Amino acid sequence: MKVIQANCRVQFTANDVDFILSVLGKTRGAAESLVSLLADAETRDLILDDDLLFRALLEQGGCLRVSPHLYFYVLVRHVLRRSGVEDRRVADYVAELLAEFSREECARCLTPDGAVRLDYFFDMLAALEKADDHTAFWIRAHIGNHSLFLSGVFPEHIRHRTERRGAPGLRYYQDLGRANYRAAGAHRLATRYDLASVFDTLSEQFEPARRALNDLSERVFSLGDPDVPVIFKS
């Protein structure tokens, strides 16, 4: 398993650019000019914040020929801003998290060497006691990510299990995610991967981020049960 990076915006495809042009070309001038603006990081970010893109991704029916990176970034950025989380790198990270976790093999927790599968939080927490430095960082980050993913995208599933089986509620996931993002952010490898500020923000603003994903889940996600992956095709 790799360390998730805040890099959705550098993975856009030609189809993504075509989609942006189809939505914004008439309002922002000639296609050539818009392509030039997209090549500049600062103006690109302003373009991606346009509400027209958000609405187009929500409203256009059928199969959208866009990458999961563009799809999740635009949607996540919009709902996080509405929840008061303004940092674009946090939106980039959470969007990449969703893009990765939409593939089943990336949502499952394997130790970095692939030797051990950790299916439950208590397995991950137990593994921390014997983990080396790199593995401990990776497990901490994964616990934070998995807590945000489950509590953000599947809150009703968690509530159902809490009511029917006495399983831990949303507060458990929130506390677990916050604590492990904090620990991951304080780890020396967070600086190496340029993730310290992202983890710190997610620790401090876990609840607003979780609620933003709840909003997004209610609006657009049809992911069903968390054991069933979403598959993106180019």
Over residues 110-149, the pLDDT tens digits come to 555 555 566 678 888 888 888 899 989 999 999 999 999 9
> Do residues 73 and 48 make contact, with C-beta atoms less than 8 angstroms apart?
yes
Is position 86 within any domain?
yes
One-letter amino acid identity for 104? E
Give the pLDDT of residue 112.
Answer: 52
Is position 225 within any domain?
no
What is the tens place of the pLDDT at every residue in 3-23? Answer: 899 999 999 999 999 999 988
Is position 231 within any domain?
no
Q: How many Å apart are CA 193 and CA 4, to the nearest integer?
A: 9
Is position 124 within any domain?
yes
Is 226 a residue whose pLDDT tops 80?
no
The boundaries of the domain holding residue 194 are 8-219
The alpha carbon torsion through 53, 9, 12, 207 (nearest 10 deg) reads: -60
Is position 232 within any domain?
no
Give the pLDDT of residue 210.
Answer: 97
Q: How many Å apart are CA 171 and CA 3, to the nearest integer?
A: 26
Q: Which two tokens stand for residue 222?
A: 């049809």
Write down the pTM of the prediction: 0.86
Is position 25 within any domain?
yes
Is position 71 within any domain?
yes
- Give φ, ψ of 165 to 5 degrees: -125, -5
For residue 110, what is the enclosing H or E element? strand 109-110
What is the CB-side half-sphere exposure of residue 36 using CA atoms within 13 A? 6
Domain count across the chain: 1
What is the tens place of the pLDDT at every residue in 36-89? Answer: 888 888 899 999 999 999 999 988 756 788 999 999 999 999 999 999 999 999
Is position 94 within any domain?
yes
Residues 218-229 have a mean pLDDT of: 54
